[in-house]
Amino acid sequence: MRLFDLTGRTALVTGSSMGIGFALSRGLASAGARLVLNARNGGRLEEAAGRLREAGAQVATLAFDVTDADAVRAAVDGYEAGNGPIDILVNNAGMQHRRPLEEFPVETFDRLMRTNVNSAFYVGQAVARHMIARGAGKIINIASVQSALARPGIAPYTTSKGAIANLTKGMATDWARHGLNCNAIAPGYFDTPLNAALVADPEFSAWLEKRTPAGRWGQVEELVGACVFLASDAASFVNGHTLFVDGGITASL
């Protein structure tokens, strides 16, 4: 299984102090990768790093705001200069806000776009500049079933995740010739802090179980295999692809 071995490679995961980002970090470490965790909250970040270190992972932390282009560039360039290459990037940082579109606050729309879309561009570009110089690198963006579908009350989120899917295609189109693999994972409905209100809603959970062919919520550990695959040599000719991990929800009417 050497194709999936990430030993000796370093993975930066944004928004990795909890939820999907933490689970993917733990999974990458289990495949042998060194980790660089990122979040804005330094205390929460160090707590997450401590839990992973206790499990045997090699972990560094970078506390920076992914919506601040200058801070992103300084953090990435500084890490590369002082610690060596970032071989794998997982653009996971994101937010959600539920509100009817006609009532959606403009400032919240702008913040959501900065968090979900701008950040993937800022961090992706900062890391890719180093990867291009080396002729190798893996970028994995976290999209969503909302890249292909929509539900009431989350039109801006749907907009942002559609943009992530197309940004992924653009990254591959520009950067594949430099040796980079740029792909996305589109999770379905997973039991995460971002979805806590929905998980706690019996009516929504009942609807979801009927709507999803697998008949249940996803568990974050079920995203790990897709992430390790896309981060590894096994995906050497996979580029610009969005891999849906959704229990079949996008395959079924």
Q: What is the pLDDT, as a whole number, of residue 192?
A: 87
Q: What integer pLDDT is reported at residue 193 of this predicted model?
A: 83
What's the confidence (pLDDT) of residue 252? Answer: 94
Domain ranges of the chain: 2-251
Q: What is the pLDDT along the chain (253 residues), one digit of tens a residue?
A: 799 999 999 999 999 999 999 999 999 999 999 999 999 999 999 999 999 999 999 999 999 999 999 999 999 999 999 999 999 999 999 999 999 999 999 999 999 999 999 999 999 999 999 999 999 999 999 999 999 999 999 999 999 999 999 999 999 999 999 999 999 999 999 998 878 888 999 999 999 999 999 999 999 999 999 999 999 999 999 999 999 999 999 999 8
For residue 1, the model assigns a pLDDT of 79
Does the reported pTM lie above 0.95?
A: yes
**Are the CB atoms for 242 and 165 separated by under 8 Å?**
yes
- Provide the pLDDT for residue 195: 86
Catalytic pick among 79, 122, 157, 189 = 157
Query: Is residue 157 flagged as an active site residue?
Result: yes
Q: What is the pLDDT of residue 216?
A: 96
What length does the chain have?
253
CB 29 within 8 A of CB 224: no
pLDDT at 253 (0 to 100): 86
pLDDT value at position 225?
98
Q: What is the pLDDT of residue 43?
A: 93
Q: What is the second-level CATH architecture of the domain 2-251? A: 3-Layer(aba) Sandwich (3.40)
Per-residue model confidence (pLDDT) at position 230: 98
